[in-house]
Copies of this chain bind each other. A is one copy, B any other.
């Protein structure tokens, strides 16, 4: 018992089920509590996963055995909940985004540093076996010296399938802020921090139409850029070209990294199991074996708990999340101003994830 890390969940919405599936299976975690403003919703979710406690955030914080608060609230509540948990002496895992603006993100990191606590943030797909296999290939020299990357996420927009998509076209969202974290976090794992950005952005339509569900046919306003093309420069001299679009009938989720000897096509960094391909300069191609994994959302919490116990830095660090937030906001700013922006935030490039966190599941 004493060697299991106590965890409490805040926010019993849809994504909490995905987290709980992972966290309740982790042998070194002890999931103790589900909190929600709607305590009945919290109770139901706790029952579904045999979690003993449920109720309010205050009640959660009253349980001294909870060491990590997993913050799955709506984005605009992320900062407040994180600050509350830190003030109560708990480490925090945040769903993405860390915050909606730089000030909020900075406040959370500062509070954690002052208190000697950790703040870590989604996405944790970069810890999955697919991306980690690609990362191992790159770091082991399989592509020679890395030079550049191409990131493309394109689709016709979530209103085709999401029953209530308006928020995905409002402040804090759009394709860049919603999907960019998966790609930019992966790029930082590959190349280290971004140093410079330039971009163009467009909003193709003033309104969009809900495509399915009970509200099908309803119109809603679009207040953010729905296609963003960006060029990033990295500290080591590498560059990346990125496209984030909700304006593309053609669907694509791609990340690829090019080096002097070969390119690695990573696949979709929003998945835990994309299968890397290595394209060699002689034209030969190796598609690596399919990945069977049960690793899913929440693996970053497991990693955070282990890092705390081991006294080592966590991989999905708040510094990294803040840097990615800063880069995304700068991307929008440069698209408006037309001026190249130098990025001043920075972070460590995370270490490879040891493949032993769950026996037989990380390839």
Q: Residues on A close to B: CB < 8 A?
A: 143, 147-148, 150, 152, 154, 156, 160-161, 196, 198-200, 202, 204-205, 227, 229, 231, 233, 237, 239, 241, 243, 245, 247-251, 256, 258-263, 265, 279-290, 292, 338-340
Contacts and interface: CB of A to CB of B under 8 A. Distances in A.
14 contacts: A148-B227, A161-B292, A196-B338, A198-B338, A200-B239, A247-B258, A249-B259, A250-B262, A250-B279, A282-B289, A284-B287, A286-B286, A287-B287, A338-B340
A339 B265 CA distance: 31
Given A241-B241, A249-B281, A286-B286, 6 more contacts: A148-B248, A198-B231, A229-B241, A247-B258, A284-B288, A338-B340
Contacts of A286: 284-287
A154 B249 CA distance: 24
A281 B154 CA distance: 11
Nearest to A265: B250
Contacts of A289: 280, 282-284
Contact of A198 (B148, B200, B204): B200
Q: Interface majority SS on A: helix, strand, loop or mixed?
A: strand
Nearest 6 Cβ contacts at the A-B interface: A250-B263, A249-B281, A250-B279, A285-B287, A156-B281, A282-B289
Contacts of A233: 200
Nearest to A290: B283
Contacts of A205: 260
A204 B243 contact: no
Contacts of A258: 154, 245, 247-250
Given A241-B243, A285-B286, A286-B284, A249 B261 contact: yes
